[in-house]
Amino acid sequence: MGAPPDISAAAAFMERRHRWRPAEALPWLAAVAAFFLFPDYTAFGTQVLIMILFALSLDLIMGYAGIVTLGHAAYFGAGAYAAGMLSAHLGWGEPLTGLMIAGLTAAAVGFVSGVVLLRYHGLTLLMLTLATAIMLQELANVQEEITGGFDGLLGISIDPIFGLFENDLWGRTYYWYALIVLFALFLIARRIVYSPFGQSLSGIRENVGRMHAIGSPVHRRLVTVYTISAGMAGIAGGLFAQSNAFVTLDVLSFARSGAVLIMLILGGTGRLYGAFVGATVYMVLEDELAKLSPEFWEFGIGLLLVLTVLFARRGLLGLIEDLGARFGKAKP
Amino acid sequence: MTAPLLEVRGLTKSFGALDVARGIDFRLGTGDRHALIGPNGAGKTTFVNLITGVLRPSAGQVLLQGEDVTALDQAARTRRGIVRTFQINQLFAGLTVLENVYMAVAERRGAANDLWRPAGAHREVTGEALDLLEKLRLQDDALKPVHELPYGRQRLVEIAIALGSRPKILLLDEPAAGVPSAESHIILDMIEDLSDEIAVLIIEHDMDVVFRFARQITVLVSGAVLTGGAPEDVAADPRVRDVYLGEARHG
């Protein structure tokens, strides 16, 4: 006798949960299409891709594990300075190893700070994340012989990718470079999210008390995902340093930590693709609104954020999903 | 003589001048069905919190099969088989019923450390979770978000999660509390059907449930054991009656 249909349906659901859905091709097709449709905007597009990666790293800890942070720029900045200083001081211009070192440096910073920070929660944790980023920024400011301090880190020179692809004036090469790096890291993030480990992160977000009660090593899980997230943010920072050939204290700023948080909330947390929607909408709006009114673009972003948190609690992506569901139902 | 499954020696907990547990001695053996009763504020949930490691005692010891686990945290004690349910549901509200139970099974089997293979590829975990749901007649709700279930069925999920940790000792903190009587029998039947390999300690206010279920009773008053023994002896004890009729003036 086979299992009753409801049981096999549930088992089948678990087995299919992680499969790719057709709609998941959309952001990647859009990224490729954008390259050809907006040839004058590839440098800007590269920065969007970098911020998507940064927001994606935040989604792992905030959207999945429920860690709210106001200091995620600490790891973006650590990666940016690692990649920048590698070239500026050691003459190491090979981009891929540079990115790896950026990621490892940020992951190390993430691990050390995470071991301490993640013993706390709520407001204490929020303040500690903020303080971590401020302290790192101040450290970079004071150590101006190696970081360039307030004036920024100059003299970054990056070799052609694989020794073949030189970056051009419009940053076309770097667009593809950033897109491929984003895709590779997205694949990793996606695997993590659908794994039992990823499931346990959702458990920590939903009810940390019960996680302790079912025997979960909560602190170890959080430190693990925090380290991975920091490493990813560091690679985003490394891409930023390489593509701009310039690093300033701004990479560690509170404004950057805040911006990535807003991007993720705009797009929708805990759904991977929220980072894509949020970062793109935020940066395009920032760019367009700044052209319209250089002084008031933040007002526009602020208004959008207010509308999102009031009327689309699951972010713009959640809104799209809801509309899609309604539309799908209306049209059988 | 082999050590008892669970032994508690002189367990004491004070919050400042307030003693919420005073020198409690307690034993639980394999297959035991034990009820912990006492008036409100007697320290019953505190006692469960001390056994499970949510609270650290001010003095005293908790021994599991002779091994001192007093210094271990809650998660480590769960992994050793001391598992509880909560008086107020502690569920993963946004997740499905299946995912709720999957979580506990995955932790126990060590699958939850895997951050690469898809959760669904761990068929042994899904299978065990579904078996538990079937046992508690929750299979039809497997894919529903747990917060959409009626309260009585949520109480069953609460127990299913605990069973997913495969307890040696199961501490049930008012398992039927808040459940309409039309549904509470499902929970009580289920508790009666629990394997004899599990020792069960139940906190309960409903005396019908206590006398139906328990083979031993401990009465806790003001953080201390007033008396204990077989149900009929406890029921006949005038001190117990006093406590329940509110004639005694404890704390």
pLDDT class of B179 with cuts at 50, 70, 90: confident
Residue A171, pLDDT score: 79
- Asked, for residue A185, whether it belongs to a domain, the answer is yes
A120 CB neighbour count, 10 Å cutoff: 13
Domain boundaries, chain B: 6-90+165-245
Give the 3-state secondary structure of chain A.
CCCCHHHHHHHHHHHHCCCCCHHHHHHHHHHHHHHHHCHHHHHHHHHHHHHHHHHHHHHHHHHHCCCCCCCCHHHHHHHHHHHHHHHHHHCCCCHHHHHHHHHHHHHHHHHHHHHHHCCCCHHHHHHHHHHHHHHHHHHHHHCHHHHCHHHCECCCCCCCECCCECCCCCCHHHHHHHHHHHHHHHHHHHHHHHCHHHHHHHHHHHCHHHHHHCCCCHHHHHHHHHHHHHHHHHHHHHHHHHHHCCECHHHHCHHHHHHHHHHHHHHCCCCCCHHHHHHHHHHHHHHHHHHHCCCCHHHHHHHHHHHHHHHCCCHHHHHHHHHHHHHHHHCC
Kindly state the average pLDDT of the residues B46-57.
95
Residue A331, pLDDT score: 42
Q: How many domains does chain A have?
A: 1
- Asked, for residue A125, whether it belongs to a domain, the answer is yes
Residues of A in CB contact (< 8 Å) with B are: 3-4, 6-7, 9-11, 13-18, 191-192, 194-200, 202-203, 206-207, 209-218, 221, 224
Q: Tell if the CB–CB gap between B52 and A215 is shorter than 8 Å.
A: no
Residue A129, pLDDT score: 97
Q: At what angle do helices A218-244 and A95-117 cross, to 10 degrees?
A: 140
pLDDT single digits (tens) A156-193: 888 888 777 777 766 789 999 999 999 999 999 999 99
At the second CATH level, the architecture of B6-90+165-245 is 3-Layer(aba) Sandwich (3.40)
Using a CB-CB cut-off of 8 Å, the residues of chain A touching B134 are 7
Strand order in B6-15's β-sheet?
A: B18-28, B6-15, B59-64, B67-68
- Asked, for residue A266, whether it belongs to a domain, the answer is no
Q: Tell if the CB–CB gap between B114 and A202 is shorter than 8 Å.
A: no
Which segment of A162-166, A253-257, B35-39, B158-162 scores lowest on mean pLDDT? A162-166
Using a CB-CB cut-off of 8 Å, the residues of chain B touching A224 are 115
Q: How far apart are the first and last CA of chain A?
A: 35
Domain boundaries, position A147: 42-253
Of B240, B220, B169, B172, nearest to B21 (Cα)? B220
Q: Is B110 on the interface with A (CB under 8 A)?
A: no
Low-confidence residues in chain A, pLDDT < 70? 1-6, 169-170, 329-332
Mutate to test the interface with A, among B48, B90, B143 (most CBs of A within 10 A): B90
- Asked, for residue A203, whether it belongs to a domain, the answer is yes
Q: Is B170 on the interface with A (CB under 8 A)?
A: no
CA distances from B52 to B80, B85, B157, B170, B233 (A): 11, 11, 20, 10, 29
CA distances from B211 to A158, A330, B28, B37, B227 (A): 78, 56, 18, 11, 16
Kindly state the average pLDDT of the residues B91-108.
96
Q: What is the CA B239 to chain-centroid distance, rounded? A: 26
- Longest pairwise C-alpha distance within chain B: 62
Residue B1, pLDDT score: 57
Give A212 to chain B, closest Cα distance, Å. Answer: 5
**With contact defined as beta carbons under 8 Å apart, do A196 and B106 qualify?**
yes
Return d(Cα A279, Cα B144) in angstroms, integer: 32
Q: Tell if the CB–CB gap between A213 and B84 is shorter than 8 Å.
A: yes
Give the 3-state secondary structure of chain B.
CCCCCEEEEEEEEEECCEEEEEEEEEEECCCCEEEEECCCCCCHHHHHHHHHCCCCCCEEEEEECCEECCCCCHHHHHHCCEEECCCCCCCCCCCEHHHHHHHHHHHHHCHHHCCCCCHHHCHHHHHHHHHHHHHCCCHHHCCCEHHHCCHHHHHHHHHHHHHHCCCCEEEEECCCCCCCHHHHHHHHHHHHCCCCCCEEEEECCCHHHHHHHCCEEEEEECCEEEEEECHHHHHHCHHHHHHHHCCCCCC
- Asked, for residue A318, whether it belongs to a domain, the answer is no
ipTM for the complex shown: 0.91
Asked whether the predicted pLDDT for residue B176 surpasses 90, the reply is no
Q: Is B149 on the interface with A (CB under 8 A)?
A: no
Which residue from A minimizes the CA distance to B117?
Answer: A195
Residue B29, pLDDT score: 93
Give B55 to chain A, closest Cα distance, Å. Answer: 12
Residue A313, pLDDT score: 85
Asked whether the predicted pLDDT for residue B98 surpasses 80, the reply is yes
- Asked, for residue A88, whether it belongs to a domain, the answer is yes
Asked whether the predicted pLDDT for residue B249 surpasses 60, the reply is no
Using a CB-CB cut-off of 8 Å, the residues of chain A touching B78 are 212-215
Using a CB-CB cut-off of 8 Å, the residues of chain A touching B115 are 191-192, 195-198, 224
Q: Tell if the CB–CB gap between A213 and B78 is shorter than 8 Å.
A: yes
